[in-house]
Amino acid sequence: MPMLHLSHLLLPLFFVAASLLSAVTIASDRNDDTHYDRISLLATASDDIDNDILETVLFVHREGSNPAELSEEVNAAIQWAVNEAKKISGITVQTMGYQTHPIYQQRRLSAWRVRQSLRLESKNIAKLSQLIGKLQERLAVERVGYRISAQRRNAVEENLIAEAIALFQRRAKLIAKQMDRDQYRVVQMSINTGGASMQPIMRTEMSAMADPRIAPGFEAGTQTVTVSVNGTIELQLN
């Protein structure tokens, strides 16, 4: 049998490899991620909303040598506060943050500290402010602040989303017109919300609560809720 020359064997393989390389090149060209005439836009809508919830955290702490007795005193004070809060309708009550800590002096145990907190919130600011004044007979105020309820915030955000998207569309149409393009398409869009977090009472207002015989007066005020629409459009011709 005649022997085949090595070049005769390699020649078909060369054509196969060249064909595969050509196919890969064509596919790569078709999958090119290069895009043109894409523009990023930002549209923002905001509104000032009345706070409708007053929230406060009060606490009681005791220090001494007998942790069991301290715990009883703290529990009694918190239970008294809970009972007083439950007498008033429309106030949400939550106990939180029970802690017992040793106190050291010169590396020796000298005393114990027991502490517990109570969180209250209500849409009835007048009733809660009166309760805060009464509870200061046995508890101290850690913080007081305002916030917007989830129901009101959601309703406001839905309106602002519609407003921000409409503004985004108007700006996209304006850009397309100024760039002499017939139309555009949205390539990417994200919607973000912000604002309306806890708004603490100022220190000057907190000082008015120093006398437990006087119910502190609060003004709810407003907070700004913001919705922003970030997106990318691609300008097109018919």
Q: Single out the residue of 103, 99, 97 nearest to residue 114, CA to CA.
A: 99
- Amino acid identity, residue 86? K
Ramachandran region of residue 150, left (φ > 0), alpha (ψ -120 to 50) or beta? alpha
Two structure tokens written together for 183: 């139309």
Question: How much is the pLDDT for 31?
Answer: 52
Question: How much is the pLDDT for 36?
Answer: 73
Question: How much is the pLDDT for 4?
Answer: 47
pLDDT digits (tens, 9 = 90+) for 65-80: 999 999 999 999 999 9
Question: How much is the pLDDT for 195?
Answer: 63
pLDDT band at 212 (very low <50, low <70, confident <90, very high): low
Question: pLDDT at residue 6 above 50?
Answer: no
pLDDT digits (tens, 9 = 90+) for 125-180: 899 999 999 999 999 999 999 999 999 999 999 999 999 999 999 999 999 999 99
Question: How much is the pLDDT for 22?
Answer: 47
Find out whether 26 and 154 touch, Cβ atoms under 8 Å: no
- The enclosing H or E element of 139 equals none
pLDDT digits (tens, 9 = 90+) for 88-119: 999 999 999 899 999 999 889 999 999 999 99
Q: Which domains does the chain have, with CATH numbers?
A: 38-48+152-195+227-236 (no CATH), 53-147 (3.30.70.360)
Q: What are phi and psi of 229, to 5 degrees?
A: -115, 115
Q: Where are the beta strands (DSSP E) in the chain?
A: 38-50, 53-64, 91-105, 108-122, 140-147, 183-195, 199-200, 222-236
